[in-house]
Amino acid sequence: MQILNHSQMLQEYFGIVKKPDQLIIALAGNLNVGKSTLFNSLTGLRQHTGNWPGKTVDNAQGSFSYRDKNFLMIDLPGTYSILAHTAEEEVARDFICFGHPDVTVIVLDATSLERNLNLALQVMEITSRLVICVNLIDEAKKKKISIDFITLEKELGVPVVATAARQGIGLNSLKESIYQVAIGSRELNPTQIKYSMEVENAVLKLLPQIEKFRFDKLFNPRWVALRLLDGDEKFIRNITLHLNSQSRWAVTREAEIAL
Amino acid sequence: MITYGSKKQLEELKKEAEKIRLSKGNIIGDTIVSDIFNNAEKLAHKVVRQGSYSVNWTTKTDNILTSKILGYPIMLLLLSTVFWITITGANMPSEIIATVLFGFQDVLTRWFIMIDAPNWLHGVLVLGLYRALAWVVSVMLPPMAIFFPLFTLLEDLGYLPRVAFNLDHLFRKANACGKQSLTMCMGFGCNAAGVVSCRIIDSPREKLIAILTNNFVPCNGRFPTLIAIGTIFGAGAVSQGYQSLAIAGIITILILLGVGTTFLVSWVLSRTILRGETSSMVLELPPYRRPKIGSVIYRSIIDRTIFVLRRAILVAAPAGAITWMLGNIFIVDLSLIGHVAHFLHPIAHSIGLDGFILMAFILGLPANEIILPILIMSYISSGHMLEFDNLVDLRNLLVDNGWTWLTAVNTMLFSLLHWPCATSLLTILKETGSKKWTIMAFIIPTTIAFTLCFIVTQIAHFLFI
Amino acid sequence: MITYDKSIPLSQIAVGCTCRIVGLELDGILRRRIQDLGIIPGTAVECIRRGPSGDPTAYTIRGTTVALRKEDASLIHVHLI
């Protein structure tokens, strides 16, 4: 079995070609939250579209630089959830989970934060390398909605940035936060969803079995347990598929971490 | 090498999870979903404050735009206003571009004479390639560069989901999905893009219906053709001041005819080869947002200009060169084009067209943009007219070649209803993954176009001749 | 079999009325789709308008507006509040 590095893994399993110095950013969010506007204003004309391997779902990629780093941003399909019931959700979920982006940015709609936080909380179970971008703050202001961003950031445990992408407001802070998370200079401690007792008990019952697989460095075992309990057939199928890629890549990853 | 347990271990794990899941009465999935939302709700309550907010513009606007009485009339009015602005606005820039581009043709011709280039080279490059390019750009670009910004404005405003909301009831009667109206809107830009957008429809059956009928919305390549022919033959009947209004009316009727055909075909399909019950639909109605008018217009004009120019260079220019050659290679005393047109004439005549028109439609399979240029060139190569740079000249050319209002009506109908272009067909093949459905996507519109034109022609002949 | 005491289907809620969801009878992909939008037991739903032909109907749920068809809404059980 051939050993892979991150670029090779991304290319082979996700059809994404990155330059050696580029850091990978995944851009996720609900539909109608101005995600494409944000993507366009960050990457400008340096974009191209492709297709996810084996899926009829578009894949837009764009690049930008900030300070001394170059970034390749992957615009994931807009979804309400990543519990994966549609091809779009599956693509978004698999990329965040198996593609190991350096940073995942979740775009939320300030005017319906409650529903949008649903997605954010789901993603926070998978990865901790997150930036939460609360977009459309101008619309929220018009609707007299005020958001306490300091408390929100404290509660979430990851950087929160307020933006109005159409007006270009907050884009620099967003880049700064992405940069900090990418180079690891921010302490990240994403809050975890508190489930009802019955769910927690079921997770506890399943965890010892999952820990046998020793993939705790790749995925959050708790999250894997939840997916299994949810009876998520697609995830179970995909984890089988990706375990191969993940183990081929893990060797390089372990070596990199050791250095 | 690190391995993460065998497939067998994973199977065991799966079984164990399944056991726990079922022991709880199979509701653990629901509890997980509810719990996530409860967490989100708690968090939102901590950080979000809703101030008093009296005027809800979205509600007020929806009270009008989706109302029982005004909902449909406003939709129609908006549609025809968009067409009217497009038609009135496109006239002048179209003429200017035509003057400039055809003026440059004369310059090109002088250069060719200066360097003593052979006649055939001048023919292929200037009379064929360049002229087709000039035609496509001057006829296609202005209407599209006006239509699309307007359309994008409606989209940005948040109006399009309301169209789906208003029309869902009708689509459901045809056992189709209201979201099909959104895919039809995309079809105005390009049917291939419209077909791709059918992904938003969840049910495979309804998605397939939307894919097979997307072609009945005139795309970027057919819409300006309809406008041009409508202008030439439709507007002459009314006095000067009302002309653009009349054309807007004609175009609106044509679009409604396309929509009607879509409903009819959807209805027939869902009762025959795509039988099935309507599945569910969940449609989000986002709040209206004030679009950034400047940047929307700027972006979509640039976007359309690039789209039209790209198609003109990639498809129209080579097609022009090839058509010129076909029109100037003579076998016995007739050009190749003449032979083909002669061969097609009987069948074309029965549906109110002539051999040249039908041939232009056939040669236009790669892209609908090139149908009109091919037609013009074939007429020119078979006749003697050379000067040619505006719609009046086009009218004269068409009339000289025996066009009547009946020819115009049938050409417009045929253009609206005939087979999808090659790009669309390839896209359908890719999206459906089925040769059978791709062939159906060709056969259904083709049959309808031939049948309708035949009926119209025969009735007209019966009534007037 | 779950029974929904004194509940009525969401489709019977009049425009302007608010209700609370007590149970979903939908299944398959639609059940999840609806849940992803936050339509779960305990959620408050306001019926805000009907389409020009009386169907579909738009509801406000967690600050967003979602339109559902009559058949689908009739499988969502609610209590009036």
Look at B10 and B314; give whichever has higher pLDDT: B314
- In this complex, which chains have at least 3 CB pairs below 8 Å with chain C? A, B
Q: How confident is the model at residue C65 (pLDDT cuts 50, 70, 90)?
A: very high
Is C62 close to A114, i.e. CB distance below 8 A? yes
| pLDDT, tens only, A34-90 | 898 899 899 987 778 777 777 767 788 999 999 999 999 999 998 888 886 777 888
Q: Cβ contacts (< 8 Å) between A112 and chain C: which residues? A: 62-64
Q: Which of B169, B172, B289 to mutate to test the interface with C (most CBs of C within 10 A)?
A: B169
The sign of the CA dihedral B44, B47, B48, B49 is positive
Look at A244 and B318; give whichever has higher pLDDT: B318
User: Is B30 a domain residue?
Assistant: no
* CA–CA min distance B163, chain A (Å): 17
Helix (H) or strand (E) holding B110: helix B71-114
Residue in chain B nearest A209 by alpha carbon: B13
Closest CA to B382 of B345, B344, B330: B330
CA distance B129 to A33: 45
Does B386 have pLDDT greater than 60? no
What is the pLDDT averaged over residues B101-105?
Answer: 89
Is B2 close to A32, i.e. CB distance below 8 A? no
Q: Cβ contacts (< 8 Å) between A118 and chain C: which residues? A: 36, 38
Look at B236 and B445; give whichever has higher pLDDT: B445
Cα→Cα distances B363→B188, B358, B374, Å: 22, 9, 8
Query: What SS3 state is found at B148?
Result: helix
Is B172 an interface residue toward C (CB < 8 Å)? yes
Is C52 close to B33, i.e. CB distance below 8 A? no
Q: Using CB atoms, which residue from C32, C38, C63 is nearest to A111? A: C63
Does B92 have pLDDT greater than 90? no
CB atoms within 10 A of CB B437: 18
Residue in chain B nearest C1 by alpha carbon: B25
Domain total in chain B = 1
User: Is B303 a domain residue?
Assistant: yes
| pLDDT, tens only, B6-40 | 677 777 888 888 888 887 777 888 899 999 999 99
User: Is B453 a domain residue?
Assistant: yes
| pLDDT, tens only, C27-51 | 777 888 888 888 999 999 999 999 9
CA distance B203 to B176: 9
The answer for residues whose C-beta is within 8 angstroms of residue C41's C-beta and 6 or more apart is B34, C21, C22, C23, C24
CATH number of the domain enclosing A156: 3.40.50.300
Look at B211 and B370; give whichever has higher pLDDT: B211
- In this complex, which chains have at least 3 CB pairs below 8 Å with chain A? B, C
Domain total in chain A = 1
User: Is A110 a domain residue?
Assistant: yes
CA distance A89 to A73: 18
Residue in chain A nearest C34 by alpha carbon: A80
Is B284 close to C42, i.e. CB distance below 8 A? no
Residue in chain B nearest C71 by alpha carbon: B280
Mean pLDDT of chain B: 86
Is C49 close to B66, i.e. CB distance below 8 A? yes
User: Is B272 a domain residue?
Assistant: yes
> Bridge partners of A69?
A66
Does B50 have pLDDT greater than 70? yes
CA distance A61 to A220: 27
Range of the domain at B313: 69-277+289-464
Q: Which of C59, C65, C70, C74 to mutate to test the interface with B (most CBs of B within 10 A)?
A: C65
Backbone angles phi and psi of A32, in degrees to 5: 60, 35
| pLDDT, tens only, B236-273 | 666 666 777 888 888 889 999 999 999 999 999 999 98
User: Strands across the sheet with C8-9, in order?
Assistant: B282-284, C64-68, C57-61, C44-50, C18-24, C76-80, C8-9
Is A147 an interface residue toward C (CB < 8 Å)? no
| pLDDT, tens only, A3-32 | 778 888 888 888 888 888 999 999 999 988
Q: How confident is the model at residue A259 (pLDDT cuts 50, 70, 90)?
A: very low
CA distance B197 to B288: 22
Q: How confident is the model at residue B440 (pLDDT cuts 50, 70, 90)?
A: very high
* CA–CA min distance A108, chain B (Å): 12
What is the pLDDT averaged over residues A116-134?
Answer: 94
Does A231 have pLDDT greater than 90? no
CA distance B95 to B106: 17
Is C33 close to A85, i.e. CB distance below 8 A? yes
Helix (H) or strand (E) holding A203: helix A197-211
| pLDDT, tens only, A28-44 | 999 888 898 899 899 98
Range of the domain at A123: 6-192
**Per-residue pLDDT at C15:** 94
Residue in chain A nearest C38 by alpha carbon: A115
Q: Using CB atoms, which residue from B7, B28, B39 is nearest to A194? A: B39
Q: How confident is the model at residue A250 (pLDDT cuts 50, 70, 90)?
A: low
Closest CA to B90 of B289, B227, B188: B227
**Per-residue pLDDT at C78:** 94
Does B384 have pLDDT greater than 70? no
Mean pLDDT of chain A: 86
Is C66 close to B62, i.e. CB distance below 8 A? no
CA angle B298, B299, B300 (to 5 degrees): 95
User: Is A229 a domain residue?
Assistant: no
User: Is B248 a domain residue?
Assistant: yes
**Per-residue pLDDT at C1:** 44
**Per-residue pLDDT at B376:** 86
Cα→Cα distances B345→B337, B409, B456, Å: 12, 18, 18
Is A121 an interface residue toward C (CB < 8 Å)? no
Q: Cβ contacts (< 8 Å) between B7 and chain A: which residues? A: 240
- B49 DSSP assignment: E
What is the pLDDT averaged over residues B200-227?
Answer: 90
- Please tell me the number of Cα atoms within 13 Å of A171 on its side-chain side: 19
Residue in chain A nearest B285 by alpha carbon: A32
**Per-residue pLDDT at A166:** 86
Residue in chain C nearest B65 by alpha carbon: C52
- Candidate from A115-124, A247-256, B74-83, B307-316 with smallest mean pLDDT: A247-256
Does C19 have pLDDT greater than 90? yes
The sign of the CA dihedral B207, B212, B217, B221 is positive
Size of interface A-B (CB pairs under 8 A): 146
**Per-residue pLDDT at B1:** 42
* Correct CATH for C8-80 of 2.40.50.140, 3.30.465.10, 2.60.40.1120, 2.30.30.90: 2.30.30.90
